[in-house]
Structure 1
Amino acid sequence: MKRFFATWWGKLIIVVIVVAIGFGTYYGVRAYINRNSGNVQQAGQFATVAARKGSITVSINGTGTMEPAAQEDVIIDGSGTIKKMYFKESDTVKKGDLMYEIENESLPLSIKQAELNIKQMQLSADDIEGQISKAIVTIPNAGLLDLNVSEGEQVSLNMPVATVQDISVLSLAVSVYGQQAGSIKEGQSVTITVSGVSGSFNGKVVQVTQSASSVQGGSGSGNSAPQIAVSQERDTTDTNDIEQPAQAMAVIDVTNRGSKLRISQTASAVIKTDTGNVSAFGQLSAKSSPVQIKAPISGKIQTLYVSDGVIVSKGQKLLKFDTAILQNNLDVQNTKIEQAQLDLQNQKAQLDKLKVYAPIGGVIITQNVEEGDNVNDISQASSSSSNDQQSALSSNISSPLNSSSGSVSSTSKGNVAATIADVGKFQVSIAVDELDINKIKVGQKAVITADALPDQSFVGEVIDVEDQGTSQNGVTTYDVTVAFDRVQDMKTGMTADVEIIAAQKDNIVIVPIEAVMERNGKKFVIIYDEANTTLQQNNMREVKTGINNESYIEITEGLKKGEKVMLTSAASQNSNASFPGVVPPGMGGLPGNTQRQGTSGRAGFMPQGLNR
């Protein structure tokens, strides 16, 4: 081989190859510049380009796998036996369709028993509340009080604690003898006085009983009447057979003004008759029977509101029972009722769960039960069948989705009887580099293509951007999910290319990204001056920029359409250029241009008037 290249024709071949490589490199670079820089011109030894109006689209590219956008497990969260199944695997269901009926014979009986228990407990609570409401005892009628108990005393139910005697009207019974007995009549007015009590009291004869009697031999007849009328003068010469005067028994109602009078006091009465006043005397007695007050509950008397022997009025407080124990018992009972009600609600919820409905519409991709199965055995079957979800109905289904898509892939809440996938809408998840993730927002549009569906593109939308990234080999990426409508021939598992439109501006001033430099945090361009083709620092002009992609950048201030600028890549290579502090592209220049291999795709340039 060395001898061949030592010959003249060998050397000639080498020269030809070198020349060919040189021309190829020149024309390749020239074609690249023309393709990416628009109207790039050569001005002497410098490349220039005119600022022009156009559009910039910033897009993020990635690749993922198509899968249903919604997938949810059908959970049987109860117990019993599957009595009826209404759908089989691969059937299409609508949301709310009845899928299973579960039979549990013991549950209705248990609910009935729980309801009866709650009623019984409520009756006990009501009884305690009733007792608490009776803790304060009031006086049923006005009168003279006679207490039988004291504070701190423990009393039992219905034990007499006091009596009240009505003394507003008292009764006075007197006897009148002789001729005056015949003058006593009902309705006559009476004036009553009692020794030791000031003033007089009014009364009225309400009942009169008259009778006649005789005494043999002048001896007493043995009459035991306690009231004796004023003595009469009579002839006593015949002592063997003396005829006694007539006797009248009179009952008088005495109005007890100011309740000054008391039962058993001796009272004098003056009856106003047609023949004159008749005087008599007797003992005051009660006109009505005393009212007994009994303990309405058992317990300890905490407070006495009145003293023994006083005049009381109707409705006045008599005493109060200590209710601390009753209140504690009520709290305990109410807690039991509350717990029992919660248990009853849970049982009723279990009863409602004996009918299982489709949580979403779609295709049943797996079914783990059969009629007659015990619900408690479903979990074992579902755990084994879940491994087959990817292969079952491979043309329409996918494996369980992550939580961001709203799917349910766990069995933590109950037993998985089936899995339904909504195959009407698909989604793709792509990994986006950490340098680009903040450009992605939920709601942004995306374009989806697939090699398996040539000459077709589908419009989608970003529905989720993960907050938690994944790091590998020093690079962090974040999952972004794009949803789109499924069309015919679209299958689960197909590889899809996704282009997310992160930003787009139309009819703006743009230049190639190589035309912009950065110095001390500011952006500059080098203005091309035809009169002075040498590069000088005073040719630099500060500009303000907007969005950019890998090829073009927006100029918002400092440059007009048609003005020519020099490409910094060419300027940086010229030996006459002298711009201290200027950073050309590829050496820490403009932000947003860095792309990491295998994460986000390149951003594209869209000419003016061409909208996606």
Structure 2
Amino acid sequence: MAEQSTVPGTGTAVPAKETPKFKAPKKKNKWVKRIIILAVVAAVIVFALSRCMATGKQVLASGYIPATAEQRNMTVTVTGPGTIKPNDSYKATTLVKGEVLTAPFEEGQTVHKDDVLFTIDASDVENAIKQARTSVEQAQLTVQSAQLNYDSLLRTRSDNDRDRQVKANATGVINKVYVDPGDNVAAGTVVADILDRDNMKLQVPFHSVEAASFYVGQSATVTVGGTAETLYGTITEIAATDSVGLGGTLVRNVTIVVQNPGALSNTSTGTATVGTAASASSATFEYNASKQLVAKYTGELQTLNIKEGDRVTDGQVVGEFKDKDMQDQIDAAAISLQNAKLTLKNAQDSLQRTEDSLDDYTITSPIDGKVIEKNYKAGDNVDPSTASTSGASTYMAVIYDMSRLTFDINVDELDVVKLKVGQKVRFTADALENQQFTGVLEKININGTTVNGSTTYPVTVAVDGDGETLADSGLYPGMNVSASIIVEEAGSVLSVPVDAVARDNTVLVAGPGALDESGSIVDPTKLEKREVTIGRNDSDYVEILSGLEAGETVYIQNTASNAMAMMMGG
């Protein structure tokens, strides 16, 4: 702002002369200083960046490890951990409780298959067996009774079906009828009389000597008394024994049947001649059939199809009783029989289970082996239901078959295809330093286990040597081992470290400008990829079939160094 002053005597204000200022030069000096400072800072930054880039380049270059392609002896192996175990083992347990009566062995002793290890008091189960046998016997009696009742009802129904029919029991004429349809008739009641008047029979005596030559079906001549009429008939029966006739002579009765000419009745008499032999005396004619038709069923007579004077033949159905339904009784009897059989089956099964449980009171060894543990002795009480809570051992004894040792390895699916039974195995035990053991691949189990998309297969290795001897030298069951299954002894092959080969089967080699005169990497960006053909490999090296010559150098990326270089570059 310009200053003002007053003219003397006038009081008039006039502008005052401005004071000159040298701001421009001051600003010029300030910007010069700033430019100088900025130039110095930029130089420092450039210097620092160049040093950092040089350092980063050096770090990046140091992130590659050189390796030479050269001939090496290669053994192709499949490796893995395992745990030593005996050839076989048995942990003796029991399902029953009671007092141990015998335990005839000690720890360290060798036992054989089927040797008795323990016997446990079985008095309770023996009593249970007796009771079970009694139950079976009672059930068998019940089945027998139910079967008899069922069979009886079936027979009764069959008899009823047969006896409901009223059948003529002779051929002849109905002489008299005693009942009518609708009557309630009891078994044994006479229904009708049947007479066979068409045929008459005459039973006359012959001297026994003469009758002895007669036979049934032989022709005979009959003379009717009073009329002297001659009839021809047939012998139907000859008495089996003799009797005393008139005058004390021995006679035998012979029955002859003739057709009734119409005049004969049961009051007519006659004599007979068979060949030249004449009967010893005369006799009275009888109707050939004179029978009473008797009911065999009790109930209501539903039909009766005969009347007096009707002719019937033997076996002809002439009536029928009303049916009595027995099916409900038979069904109930069948159910009772089935239930009785089920009860018997349950009783037999219970007896079998009880008898089988008796075997549980004698514990035997299923293998040959050495007793590793003995946890019970004679006089001890064993109770498997409380062993885990009472602190008692859950195993009565432990037996190992130490005839040999084995271990299992879980092998990846990519490696298991290389394995064959019989391949040699080398392994070491974690607990035994500087000792190496050998074995042989004994079994490849194709039952694999898949976890997160990767499958492994268990294989079994049999350790070389006697198990007892190996244990004496310190190789015990339960020890952890690291094993190498020898797939192939490849011999001397051109190879590089496994890490030198990328997944696309390429290796890094030095391109133009990548190395200095001493062979050190000065520009990692000049490293080049080269495709190679690979062959076999072990855990450290891979065989090169083509793409590299012996003596050539490949470079392996050092992941940790590269990460550091990236951090410095950032």
> TM-score, with normalisation over the residues of structure 1?
0.46
Which structure is larger by alpha-carbon Rg, 1 or 2?
Answer: 2
> TM-score, with normalisation over the residues of structure 2?
0.49
